[in-house]
Structure 1
Amino acid sequence: MNLKISLIEDFGKRNIETTKEPKIKFSRTDIAMAVFGAAVVLSALLSGHIKESFYGVSGFGMGALSITLMILSYFYISRFLITPKWIFHFIVATSIFPIALALINRAGIDLLNMYEQGTDPKYSLYVSTLGNYGWFSEYMAIIIPIAIYMHVMTENVLERILYGIYLILALAAATLCGTNMLMMTVFAVFILVLIRRFLTLISEKDAVRAFVKKSLPWAFVIAVIVYYALVFFVSGHDDMANGRGYIWKLSMDLYKNLPLKEKLIGVGPNRYMYVLNDYLGTRSGLSTFTSRFNNLALTSAHSEYLDYLINTGIIGLAAYIYMIYTVMFSFIREGFGIINKEIAFVSAISYMTYSLCNFSIVCATPMFFIYLAMCVSKEK
């Protein structure tokens, strides 16, 4: 009798244990992403210009709403998306149209009647369907890495041939209507993928992974220091980097003159242009700015990291950088050797590199957050 009661009690306990809902676990990256999101929302709420911070600059739309949606997409994708290989084939295939149109435009043909009367597509700043050639370049910076990885790493001959053809077309478009930064980014990605290919030929993969894990914190700190050293150097030469020297100097001066509260939490997401205009209105350098930009608006600092510094403050920038660090650490620990995660990681690195000299845009930044989610996803 006692045995029966014991068995019944034991079964009951097991049944209760198995019917309990599984605990939701949050990784270090999840927490860092949530902190970054909180910094963005806080910056928007305390900016005094909630509507501007919420939607962002007209035509850009990278305010708190867009950033929050991208963060939510990270949480959903990192938990539930199973990434079949064909997704990457599809992403690359969909980029063929804008690439072909860019090449046609640079041949002097306005196929879709997009340009104003008398504008020669061959020399216009606007190309394909993506707007300014800088936007086209940033879009390509998140697509080309997939093709480079597949061309170098795949063992399928047909895939290698098709991706090779794609790379010829993509690099031709990048050469004719891309930026120097895009070409530098593509070169860096190519070197990174070649290193990954070399690692397939050696047997001590665990030792390499352990070395990279130990070196990552120092490498990350060095990268941040080098970036800001580069910013300070370039900002001392107004015309360097296609005028970014002047823009970065102006941005650093703007940040230095912000009140302490705004230095900490920023002026509001995607509010750089509004604050800069107010700042220039009180300075003697307005005429210099106007002559340089021919009355055009300067909507960003032309470096995503400087943008976050001004828009979300040092707290927002620190949260963003730490979030990126946790993604890299998680990938090295668990994603190395998984093809889908490696493709996403290479593409994310490409975006981060290109963003050193560019800004968040709706046709590229959402894909960056998707890549981050893929890098740390729960799928094996």
Structure 2
Amino acid sequence: MSSAKIIKDRNEENNSKFTTRIIDIFVIAILCIFPLAVTDKYYNILQTKYYFYIGSVCLVSFVILISAFVEHKKIKKFIFDFQWKAFVKRFTITDISLLIFLLTAIISTICSDYVYESFWGNEGRFSGLFLLGLYGIAYFLVTRLGKFRDWYLDVFLGANMIVCLFGITDYFKMDILHFKADMIESQKFIFTSTIGNINTYTALVGMVVAVAAVLFSIEKVWKRKLYYYIYMVIGFFALIMGISDNAYLSLAALFGLLPLFLFKDKKGIKNYMIIIATFFSVIQSIDWINDVMGEKVYGIDSAFSIIVNYKGLIWIVIGLWLIISIWYVAEYRRKEQHDLKNNFMCYVWFGFIIIAIIVFIYVLYDVNVNGNVERYGALKGYLLFDDDWGTHRGYIWRNAMECFSDFSPIKKLIGFGPDTFGIILLDKTQNNIYGEIYDTAHNEYIHYLLTVGIVGVTSYIIYLCSFIVNGVRICKKNPMVIAIVMAVICYSVQAFVNLNLPIATPIMWMLLMLGELKCREVKLKEE
């Protein structure tokens, strides 16, 4: 090989390394610094994180663009050697569905009666076309120019442990950051850590717990396994002490779906039992803390209170740890371990999930159609869908769907305009009995249905689902991807009752980008 050829190859390698390092910095900024970014307590926390994300995407785009112009010969070579068929072939369903989602948002904005508001989202929560476009730019920058690093998830957990610890101390009314000093007492429990609203906080922590639990399950080196276990325990405490019902949806998704991945061998079943035993132990510990500290803590006023108030909880905890201890002792005495993989238990658990879903649907029917509300005791408040359900979410959803039914056929397809939900419902819900203003649906999918229409929400759901399917397919070759898949699932499930905000949502998008990046790398190796 000639010296000129060697120099050329090294230059291209250096350029590639420079680009991937820029992406590394961008990933760290969003996963680690972004959750902690605060400027003026909770007064402008949404604006602070929104501008942080804008600045991060614009800066990384600018740096990469400048580096491309500096290497103009490389651009010329790319243009002249461009192969359209190969380019299109590498586009995944996830890529295509995202492009359709963004194109729908563009058309929706252009056709909206409120173009300015649709573009900036200033009448909502800043989730207009501009922010959606930034999500799209970041997605293609990361998935095309990045290189997946195993330590991404480690730094994500490490940084967000700080968020969790601040949330835990807020539960104890310590207010270490002094963010609540000027707030009235009745509002203090609604805001926590460096995130703000407890619903958004638990959306983020739900993803943290999912990543920690999966990494704990798949890790073989005991020191690293211990680290992930500690992260998981802190995450459980933070999630439950967040005092938001959104948390139980994330946990239901995690505990319900994780066995489909873990139950392929005995080690996976044992790890799952440890996770469950740890979760109930954390709840029992919080119950003891509440009894001892009384007024010094906020207390549990959510779905978790049903578990906390169960008198036999301590025996469940003791029983689980006793089974796990016996299992470890038996394995130690046996010495020789033959842990063959078998999907039988996965199929059994899948059947259990199907039965649970059928029972749940029947219970909903029994409560809301047959009127058997009192039959379900403390759960009736979660099962009966009326205007008061979910802190008036029932009222918002009912009015939202009534507004949607009045849309023209075109509006039903492309929506009223990104993040114009508040404008849509303004006249219909003004002077409502709750005295509230609704600028979001508190349901990401209904929100998208009204703002970007049937095409928009369908393409968004396909975007999420196609990534999950891709991640599951390659998890055998890289189990770490399942941690990202579970985080995205946990976010997507709680999104049925939560807001789409540029606080927790950018974290989900970034994790999805990294998961898709890893999927692409695995496929390229196979080619």
- Scaled by the length of structure 1, what TM-score is found? 0.79
Cα deviation 1:134-177 (Å, max 9, x = unaligned): 11111112221111111222112122222222222222222222
Among 447, 450, 461, the residue aligned to 1:307? 447
Name the counterpart of 2:101: 36
Gaps of 5+ in 1: 1-18, 213-218, 281-285
- The one-letter code of the counterpart of 2:521 is E
Matches within 5 A, 1:267-286: 267-280=416-429, 286=430
- Provide the C-alpha distance between the structure 2 equivalents of 1:117 and 1:137, rounded to a whole number of angstroms: 23
- The one-letter code of the counterpart of 2:250 is T
Name the counterpart of 2:390: 241
Comparing 344-353 and 56-65, the one that deviates more = 56-65
Name the counterpart of 1:261: 410
- The one-letter code of the counterpart of 2:410 is K
- The one-letter code of the counterpart of 1:260 is P
- Note if contact 1:29-1:327 (Cα within 8 Å) is conserved in structure 2: yes
Check 1:118–1:302 CA distance in 2 against 1; reply closer, same or farther (3 A cut): closer
Name the counterpart of 1:54: 119
SS at match of 1:376: helix
Matches within 5 A, 1:11-160: 20-21=81-82, 23-24=86-87, 25-57=90-122, 60-117=125-182, 119-120=184-185, 123-160=188-225
Check 1:58–1:85 CA distance in 2 against 1; reply closer, same or farther (3 A cut): farther
Among 498, 501, 518, the residue aligned to 1:358? 498
- Provide the C-alpha distance between the structure 1 equivalents of 2:469 and 2:162, rounded to a whole number of angstroms: 36
- Provide the C-alpha distance between the structure 1 equivalents of 2:107 and 2:240, rounded to a whole number of angstroms: 41
Give the superposition deviation at 1:58: 5.7
- Provide the C-alpha distance between the structure 2 equivalents of 1:236 and 1:342, rounded to a whole number of angstroms: 34
Matched, 1:379 2:444: no
Cα deviation 1:291-329 (Å, max 9, x = unaligned): 31x3x4222111101001001011111211222232233
% of aligned pairs identical? 21
Q: Pick 1 or 2: higher relative contact order, CA cutoff 8 A, min separation 6.
A: 1
Cα deviation 1:247-290 (Å, max 9, x = unaligned): 2112111211223332221111111012111333xxxxx43x2x
- Provide the C-alpha distance between the structure 1 equivalents of 2:96 and 2:161, rounded to a whole number of angstroms: 37
Check 1:42–1:58 CA distance in 2 against 1; reply closer, same or farther (3 A cut): same
- The one-letter code of the counterpart of 1:79 is R
- Note if contact 1:235-1:248 (Cα within 8 Å) is conserved in structure 2: no
- Scaled by the length of structure 2, what TM-score is found? 0.58
Cα deviation 1:160-217 (Å, max 9, x = unaligned): 2222222222222222224222123124213423331222565467xx99xx9xxxxx
Give the superposition deviation at 1:59: 7.5
- Provide the C-alpha distance between the structure 1 equivalents of 2:387 and 2:479, rounded to a whole number of angstroms: 43
SS at match of 1:177: coil
- Provide the C-alpha distance between the structure 2 equivalents of 1:93 and 1:337, rounded to a whole number of angstroms: 25
User: How many residues are aligned here?
Assistant: 337
Check 1:334–1:97 CA distance in 2 against 1; reply closer, same or farther (3 A cut): closer
- Note if contact 1:64-1:269 (Cα within 8 Å) is conserved in structure 2: yes
Gaps of 5+ in 2: 1-79, 267-339, 370-382, 523-527
Check 1:72–1:241 CA distance in 2 against 1; reply closer, same or farther (3 A cut): same
- The one-letter code of the counterpart of 2:91 is F
Name the counterpart of 2:294: none
SS at match of 1:73: helix
Check 1:116–1:50 CA distance in 2 against 1; reply closer, same or farther (3 A cut): farther
- Provide the C-alpha distance between the structure 2 equivalents of 1:118 and 1:348, rounded to a whole number of angstroms: 33
Comparing 76-85 and 118-127, the one that deviates more = 118-127
Alpha-carbon RMSD = 3.0
Name the counterpart of 2:50: none
- The one-letter code of the counterpart of 1:252 is M
- The one-letter code of the counterpart of 1:48 is D
Give the superposition deviation at 1:38: 0.3
- Provide the C-alpha distance between the structure 1 equivalents of 2:455 and 2:467, rounded to a whole number of angstroms: 18
Check 1:268–1:83 CA distance in 2 against 1; reply closer, same or farther (3 A cut): same
- Provide the C-alpha distance between the structure 2 equivalents of 1:338 and 1:200, rounded to a whole number of angstroms: 17
Check 1:373–1:333 CA distance in 2 against 1; reply closer, same or farther (3 A cut): same
- Provide the C-alpha distance between the structure 2 equivalents of 1:248 and 1:349, rounded to a whole number of angstroms: 22
